Amino acid sequence: MSTSEPSLSDAGYTPPWDTERQTAAGKVLWHFTMSLDGFVAGPDHAMDWMAGTNFRPGLIEEYAETTGAVLGGRAGFDAYPDVSGIYGGAWEGPVFVLTHHPEDAQPARGVTFLSCDVEEAVRIALEAAAGKNLEVFSPSIGRQLLELGLIDEIDLHIAPVLLGDGIRLFDNPGGSPVPLELLNAADPSAEVNVRYRPRARSGA
């Protein structure tokens, strides 16, 4: 492609498989990159499975600009306590970690530990977001907020990989199905069709 041709990063262009660009509107976003089989992290919160996954140009900057605060859980924080790496270091802001035992949490710059119910945690974090979006980086917290009707959007980036094990986005055995509306289609009940083929494994 020559340098004179338009690229994916040109203003106003959204790839046909993607959603419209995220906006800062005080939303509670349950936001993850997810494997095709529904995992947002591998065993022990491993994230190396994302290596080699490409995102559209400007995506990180988009979320860095629209995010006002982050709410996560203790297990995820303990696995990745350096919050300066959120969005590759492009974002800096208040991070809240909901935990039953804040007294033994390792202090970290920019992190506030909360020991309250999820409704109060969202209220505190939304206030700190100051009109921008609150991003929920926890499957368990997200599930609880979904049950309470406090999730505005489930914002997912599906990576071309099958994990088979790890931490699921929505793990609710015995629960009822949760109907959703698709935002990037004229028909909110439309299915999403994606096609993949297995590729050769490195070292094979």
Residues 111-134 have pLDDT tens digits of 999 999 999 999 999 999 999 999
The candidate with the shortest Cα–Cα distance to 183, out of 36, 60, 22, 57, is 22
Q: Is residue 170 a part of any domain in this protein?
A: no
pLDDT at 4: 35
Q: pTM score, two decimals?
A: 0.86
Q: Is residue 78 a part of any domain in this protein?
A: yes
Give the pLDDT band of residue 202 (cuts 50, 70, 90): low
Q: Is residue 195 a part of any domain in this protein?
A: no
What total number of domains does the chain contain? 1
Query: Contact at 8 Å (CB) between 161 and 39?
Result: no
Pairwise pLDDT comparison (184 vs 63), residue with the higher score: 63
Q: Is residue 14 a part of any domain in this protein?
A: no
pLDDT at 200: 79
Query: Contact at 8 Å (CB) between 106 and 172?
Result: no
- The residues, any chain, with a CB within 8 Å of residue 129's CB and separated by 6 or more, are 26, 67, 68, 69, 93, 94
Q: For residues 146, 148, 151 and 152, what is the CA-based torsion angle, rounded to 10 degrees?
A: 130
Give the pLDDT band of residue 11 (cuts 50, 70, 90): very low
Indicate which CATH number applies to the domain containing 72.
3.40.430.10
**Residue 15 pLDDT > 70, yes or no?**
no
pLDDT at 52: 86
Helices (H), the chain: 59-66, 74-79, 118-129, 139-147
Q: Is residue 9 a part of any domain in this protein?
A: no
What is the span of the domain harbouring residue 126? 28-44+59-160
